[in-house]
Each structure stands twice: as C-alpha cells, then as structure tokens.
C-alpha cells in the first residue's frame, strides 16, 4: 500500500518559486553589464583619493544595486509580456505563460528587488538615492517600447548603459563626463546584440504588430545595423581609453572585444539563425569578462604600479 507523499512545507514552496524566478529572469546574465559598471568604479577609484578600505564597501553596494535593479527589470518585463510570450512559439514555455509561477509572486519579487535597490542606493550616497527612482523608471520603461518604436533596442541599451555612470556616481557622489563614453559603448553593444537576438522573432513580431528593427528592416538589414552598433561600441571604448590616458592593457582589451564581436557576427547570417544563442549568450558573456580583466589590469596593476 502506497502512502501519499507529504505536502511540501511553506518554506520549501517559497524556495522552489524563488529558484524558478531566478530561472525566469536569467539571473546568470547579470554578468552582461556588471563588468562595465565595476570598470567604471575602478576608474573612479583611480581618479580619486579613496583608500582601499573605503572602496570595498562601495563595490559591494554597487553589486547589490546592479543585481537587484536588473532582477526587478527582468521580472517586470516577464509580467508585462506574459500574454505576448504565451502566443509566441519560442517563448510560450516561459515560467509565467506556462503556469510555473504566478503573476502575484512575480510582482512580489519585483517589489522586493526594487526595495533592495533603493536600500543599496541609500547606502551609497545621497545623489544615488535621489536618482534611484529615475533609474528604475528607465529600466521599467523599456518593457513597453516594443509596442510603439523600432528603436526599443536602443532603449534597452541605455537601460544597461546607465550602469557605468551610476557606478561612477556611487563612488564619487558626482558625474564625470568622460565616463559617458562607457555609457555610450554599453548602450550600443546591448542594442547590437538585442537586434541579433530579436531576429528570431521576425515573423511573430510582424504578425503581432510589434516593433523591432528586424520587423521593420528585414533580418539582413537589421544585422547590418547591429554591426554598425558594435563598430560604434569599439569606437566609444577607444575614446574612453584615450580620455583616461589608459595603457596597453586597456587597448588590448578593446582589441579582444572587437575580435569577439566580429566572431559574433560571423555566427549569425540572415539565412541561418541557428547559432543565435551562441552569439547572444556565450560571446557576449565573454565580451564583458575579458573587457573587465584587461581594463582592471591596466587600472590596478599597471597604472597604480607606475
């Protein structure tokens, strides 16, 4: 005689939903913008008189703010797009349309992450706290843009691009115009890879009346636009390195980023989108990591050791 399995405890149910939520928001992809924000923080440290003891707590709170803001924005995006995702064959198995998570839980997660972000901003400095609601408004606003503009990719780019400027403000309490080159670089990089990723939904977006560059221009011309975005990113990084008078390691990092982006565009063709996931997830993950390794080496090892 078989006995029924015991019902899971409230704590275990909550934990399962929490893990599913991390899957829903692709938590591991927080790595995309984080290296650029940390690079901006290190540049701010180099340009300031802060001691290492003062820097480490700030870096910790920057990490908290980055992860919580992105998590809130992704959860909000999944909530807002749940009905659209349910109609799209590529996304109908996502957690909300598939019923793995409830919208009420996702809303609670979004609110919790937003509050953590505000707390982190308050722990950094007054200006960060004052600008925190604007930052949330920007990252939430992106989720509506595909409904009315083909430039939604650039809005997404700017949502990530503000991270380096925010990190600079977190470190210094003010904004240095030079760091906006990094904001531009991240914005163009993100817009480029988002165009590539959205090529998968070309037919669906046109059928649903959603806005994207592939839907407006066609896949081939959209991929050309993505290349120009990424060329612009490399140019912005060069201007950034020049404005801060960085050394050979930083320039080597730019070369590494350019090489990875060239490889990304070789992986995807208008008549073959089978390797979009490799281009989007793998290559762009390495872009951020290698950029940080090279630039952190230049900032911390070479410049400070000079």
What is the pLDDT confidence band of residue 18, given thresholds at 50, 70 and 90? confident
Which residues have C-beta within 8 Å of that of residue 22, sequence separation ≥ 6?
none
71 is written with which tokens?
């998590």
Helices 180-198, 34-47: crossing angle, 10 deg rounding: 170
Looking at the structure of the chain, the number of domains it has is: 1
pLDDT at residue 49 in the model: 77
Full domain range(s) for residue 234: 31-305
Is residue 6 over pLDDT 70? no
For residue 286, the domain's CATH number is: 1.10.357.140
Q: How far is the CA of 226 from the CAs of 34, 39, 77, in angstroms? A: 22, 24, 23
| Residue 276 is assigned to a structural domain of this protein | yes
| Residue 158 is assigned to a structural domain of this protein | yes
Contact 160, 178 (CB under 8 A): no
pTM of the model: 0.92
Annotate 250-262 with b (16+ C-beta within 10 A) or e (fewer). bbbbbebbbebbe
| DSSP 8-state assignment for residue 99 | T
| Residue 95 is assigned to a structural domain of this protein | yes
Is residue 3 over pLDDT 70? no
| Residue 232 is assigned to a structural domain of this protein | yes
Nearest to 292 by CA among 252, 259, 232: 252
Report the C-alpha gap between 297 and 118 in whole angstroms: 31
More confidently predicted of 82 and 3: 82
Nearest to 166 by CA among 64, 241, 244: 64
Residue with tokens 């109908």: 92
Report the C-alpha gap between 37 and 53 in whole angstroms: 19
| DSSP 8-state assignment for residue 297 | I
User: Which stretch of 32-36, 176-180, 275-279 has the lowest confidence by average pLDDT?
Assistant: 275-279
pLDDT at residue 40 in the model: 97
What is the pLDDT confidence band of residue 7, given thresholds at 50, 70 and 90? low
| Residue 20 is assigned to a structural domain of this protein | no
- The arithmetic mean of pLDDT across residues 93-119, rounded, is 94
Is residue 11 over pLDDT 90? no
Residue-wise pLDDT tens digits, 212-245: 999 999 999 999 999 999 999 999 999 999 999 9
Nearest to 210 by CA among 200, 224, 221, 220: 200
More confidently predicted of 13 and 78: 78
Which residues have C-beta within 8 Å of that of residue 192, sequence separation ≥ 6?
153, 226, 227, 229, 230, 233, 261
pLDDT at residue 32 in the model: 80
């Amino acid at each position: 005689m078989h006995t029924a399995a015991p019902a899971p405890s409230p704590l275990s149910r909550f934990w399962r939903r929490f893990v599913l939520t991390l899957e829903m928001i692709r938590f591991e992809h927080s790595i995309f913008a984080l290296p650029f924000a940390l690079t901006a923080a290190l540049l701010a440290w180099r340009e300031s008189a802060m001691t290492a003891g003062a820097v480490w707590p700030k870096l910790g709170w920057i990490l908290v703010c980055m992860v919580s803001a992105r998590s809130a924005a992704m959860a909000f995006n999944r909530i807002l797009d749940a009905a659209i995702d349910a109609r799209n064959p590529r996304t109908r198995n996502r957690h909300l349309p598939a019923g793995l998570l409830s919208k009420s839980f996702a809303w609670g997660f979004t609110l919790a992450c937003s509050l953590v972000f505000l707390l982190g901003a308050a722990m950094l400095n007054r200006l960060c706290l004052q600008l925190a609601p604007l930052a949330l408004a920007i990252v939430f606003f992106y989720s509506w843009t595909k409904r009315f503009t083909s430039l939604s990719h650039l809005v997404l780019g700017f949502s990530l691009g503000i991270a380096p400027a925010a990190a600079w403000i977190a470190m210094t309490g003010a904004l240095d115009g030079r760091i906006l080159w990094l904001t531009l670089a991240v914005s163009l990089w993100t817009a480029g890879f988002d165009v590539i990723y959205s090529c998968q939904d070309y037919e669906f977006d046109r059928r649903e009346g959603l806005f994207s560059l592939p839907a407006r221009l066609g896949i081939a011309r959209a991929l050309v636009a993505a290349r120009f975005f990424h060329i612009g990113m490399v140019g912005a990084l060069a201007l950034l390195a020049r404005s801060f008078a960085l050394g050979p390691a930083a320039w080597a990092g730019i070369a590494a980023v350019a090489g990875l982006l060239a490889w990304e565009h070789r992986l995807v063709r208008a008549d073959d989108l089978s390797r979009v996931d490799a281009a989007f997830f793998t290559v762009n993950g390495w872009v951020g990591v290698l950029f940080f390794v090279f630039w952190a080496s230049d900032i911390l090892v070479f410049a400070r050791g000079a």
